Amino acid sequence: MINGVIVKGIGGFYYVQSDRGVAECRARGKFRKAQISPMVGDKVGISIVNENPLQGAIEEIYPRKNFLIRPPVANVDTVVIVIATASPNPDYCMVDKLIVTAEKAGIEIIIAVNKTDIAKPDNIIEVYEKAGFQTISVCAEKNEGINGLRALISGKTVAFAGNSGVGKSSLLNRLGFDLETGEVSKIERGKHTTRHAELLPLDTGGYVIDTPGFSLLEVSDIKASELKDYFREFKDLGDCRFSGCVHIGAKPSDCAVSAAVGRGEICPSRYESYLSIYDSLKDIKDWEL
Ligand SMILES: Nc1nc2c(ncn2[C@@H]2O[C@H](COP(=O)(O)OP(=O)(O)OP(=O)(O)O)[C@@H](O)[C@H]2O)c(=O)[nH]1
Ligand SMILES: [Mg+2]
Ligand SMILES: [Zn+2]
């Protein structure tokens, strides 16, 4: 058996990258019987059934370390969350939702602030450095910061996420791809409603995934009471007066998070995102999760 990675799936065919090249594969019937569908990003074992063209059968799907629903992709190491300094203006709540999703899935997070040619990235960088994230300033337009970005992601499976128009595809093009950007990508999206995830091999090793803006990753499979676990700067602040404190509406003297917000150690935008996401989760009953 040959080990590889599913880089693309279309109409029941899975394209598996291995030492032998890309093989067009079908999944064995046993997976359908077991109600397991192969996903892009799955590490698989295949047998070769034809040499030219290279075709195979998926014999084994190895355990997933994580998976995302939208885009449907498994075994993501890192998500690069792209924020534009302007045009479009930062949507902090959306970024923070993405972060929560990634934290829950155990995916490493990098915040990349793009379009530094039109406004300064400093405020955005400060918000996320203070919260404990790795950040990087980049400019697809001026081709700046791209080697730094490449160094952070090489060898990994990396999803690029963030609002429409922030420059995900433009950054990937600077990394050597040839993706549609700007209005073209929007027109295309209208035409093809089914957008599938695809792993694109990075020439310095690893894979990237370009996700369309708004493909988002709604936070819903989380209990409101555990949301605080996915805001990393809420940790290590010491104990609140009441165990199980969700850090909402409590006096600063009773709540370590509320006190840290008061002292300016937690950025207002992060705390506002917390309140807003909490609000969206609080009516979901445990048995609905
Ligand atoms: N000024 C400036 N414009 C940029 C920069 N990066 C990208 N753009 C422009 O921003 C627009 C959107 O860029 P895309 O790369 O298509 O954005 P995207 O995040 O892939 O958007 P979706 O595919 O819709 O999610 C395009 O017109 C780009 O030319 C930058 O660094 N500076
Ligand atoms: Mg795009
Ligand atoms: Zn508290």
Confidence at 193, pLDDT banded by 50, 70, 90: very low
Average pLDDT over residues 63-76: 89
Average pLDDT over residues 191-214: 78
Confidence at 259, pLDDT banded by 50, 70, 90: very high
Nearest alpha carbon, ligand 1 atom 13: 167
| Residue 146 in this model has a pLDDT that exceeds 60 | yes
Nearest alpha carbon, ligand 1 atom 29: 182
Q: Collapsing DSSP states into helix, strand and coil, what is residue 260? A: helix
pLDDT value, residue 194:
42
State the distance from the centre of ligand 3 to the C-alpha of 99, rounded, in angstroms.
20
Ligand 1 pocket residues where CB is under 6 Å: 114-115, 117-118, 139-141, 164-170, 181-182, 185-186, 212-213
Residue 50, domain extent: 2-63
- Residue 138: CB partners within 8 Å, gap ≥ 6? 112, 113, 114, 116, 144, 145, 146, 148, 149, 171
Nearest alpha carbon, ligand 1 atom 32: 115
215 part of a folded domain: no
The CATH number of whichever domain residue 146 belongs to comes to 3.40.50.300
Please give the Cα distance from 197 to 32 (Å, whole number).
21
The two tokens of residue 188 are 């295309």
**Residue at a domain's end among 41, 63, 85:** 63
Confidence at 172, pLDDT banded by 50, 70, 90: very high
Average pLDDT over residues 182-209: 73
Within this chain, do residues 83 and 178 fall inside the same structural domain, yes or no? yes
Q: Which residues pair with 157 in a beta bridge?
A: 207
Please give the Cα distance from 100 to 232 (Å, whole number).
10
Average pLDDT over residues 111-138: 98
Q: pTM of the predicted model, to two decimals?
A: 0.93
The CATH number of whichever domain residue 239 belongs to comes to 1.10.40.50
Within this chain, do residues 106 and 196 fall inside the same structural domain, yes or no? yes
DSSP H helices, the chain, are: 29-33, 92-105, 122-130, 146-153, 168-174, 182-191, 256-262, 268-281
